[in-house]
Structure formats: structure tokens, C-alpha cells
Chains A and B, each alone.
Chain A
Amino acid sequence: MKFSIQINEGPYQHQAADTAYQFTKAALEKGHEVFRVFFYHDGVNNATRLTTPPQDDRNIVNRWSDLAEKYNLDMVVCVAAAQRRGIVDADEAKRNGKDATNLAPRFRISGLGQLIEAGIQADRLMVFGD
């Protein structure tokens, strides 16, 4: 089956961010296709490389980057939600005159159209949130 994944909640605050990861990983390991993972609302905070959890805890952001590396996952962060919450890549920093970037590897920032397309292209869009 071809899945798309939407994540609406931030890391560590809300288990939805963990469940989404575990679902995506399990689906890929079972041979399913994941068309896209889309981060929205506070979910965009899953994409900051500046996260530093305690050493004995899971690193939610790195976990996503590693999964994307292994399976060539398309991970999209909503640009409007990211701007509100200070998730920035080089293009966004330049466009909005910011002095830093924090987008983790393998994530990309793009528009909400990517979410609609994900819904159209996939057999199932799974929404993880509150």
C-alpha cells in the first residue's frame, strides 16, 4: 500500500510524534511505500537539528533523518507553519533576513500543496495528532 503521513504535534511534548515515526518505520520495513511525510502545526519542530535530548533518551529528529536516509523518504515541513515557529533553511534565512538555519538533514521546506498532493497520490493519508 502507498501511505502518506501527516504529523501535527511536536517532539517530546506529544507521543503522536513518536507513533508517527514508529508507524512509518514499520510500514517501510514491511515493504509498503511511503509517498511523503508532511510536518504541520507544531509537528514542524520535529525538523530542528538543534534539538539536544538527554543522552539516555531517543533523538526524535535524528531518528527521522536516519530513516529518510535509509529509505529515501520525502520529508516536507510546511513553510507557513515553519515560519511561525522558527524552522529555517538556507533559502528561508536569506528570504526573511535571518542569521541562522536549523533544518535537520533530509527535511525540506515547502508549501501546503505538498500535503494535498500527498493525499491525492497515496492510498491512505494517516494523520497523527491530538
Chain B
Amino acid sequence: MTDETMAEGGTVKRFCYLNRRAPYGTVYALESLEVVLIGAAFEQDVSMVFVDDGVYQLKKGQDTKGVEMKNFSPTYRALEMYDVEKLYVERESMEARGLTEDDFVVPVQVLSSQELSDLMEEQDVVLSF
């Protein structure tokens, strides 16, 4: 890695969390969010990317009572307090599922597949969930 910057006390790398799956059905989304929250303490340059069914993780109005699982979608609204502010949604995934930016619980930046590809190319560490 030649282009890392050195912050006070250590290395700062660009960490990208790639979220590909629906919020329920499997535990990937919840456990991905847990990594992001713990990782925030390391003060890295964090981006979160939502593609495929992963865009549903941010959907407003989640109601999990019927499946007896914890609705963790409010946690995405807390990310700002952890200085995790770069949230990207793939336009193609969003549109294929009939969603718009207004359907999400937090403000996101909507990028095309190509733009996301460029963004991911710039990352030092990509964690795929």
C-alpha cells in the first residue's frame, strides 16, 4: 500500500463494507453492521456500499414482529455518530426493486454500477457480506 495516509497514532486505510444481502433471512447484514460499529473505534476511512438485496437493509418501515427477529434498521441512523457517513446505494439494484432514495432510513448517495466499481477500486480493504 503506497497511498495510505498516516494519522496520529497509526495507519488510516480506506475500508469498504459491501452489503449484498437482505436484512433478514440470513445473519450477514446484522453481523456486518456489528463489524462497522466496532471498526469505527479504529478511526479508519469507512464507506458502506449496498447492492443487490442489500439495498433492502436501509428500507424504511421494517416490521419484524412476525418473524421474531430484532429490527436493527434504526441502527443505521446511529452510524453518523460513529463518523460513518459515506453510504452508497447502487442505482441499478435500487431501481430493479422499485425503490427510490425516499425509501431509505438514512441519506445515501446513489451511484451507478460503474461509479461504484471505480469507488471500490480505490479501497484498501473490502469486506464483503
Contact = CB atoms under 8 A, between A and B. Distances in A.
Range for the number of chain B residues in contact with chain A = 20 to 34
A120 B10 contact: yes
A119 B15 contact: yes
Nearest to A113: B38
Interface string A76-91: 0000110010000000
B31 interface: yes
Given A80-B34, A119-B15, A6 B127 contact: yes
B28 A120 contact: no
Most buried by A among B44, B125, B128: B125
B34 A116 contact: no
A125 B126 CA distance: 8
B38 A119 contact: no
Interface residues of A, number: 19
Contacts of A6: 127
A69 interface: no
Interface string B32-61: 001100110110100000000000000000
Interface of A: 6, 8, 40-41, 80-81, 84, 111-113, 115-117, 119-120, 123, 125, 127, 129
Interface of B: 1, 10-11, 13, 15, 27-28, 31, 34-35, 38-39, 41-42, 44, 124-129
6 contacts: A80-B31, A116-B42, A119-B124, A120-B125, A127-B128, A129-B128
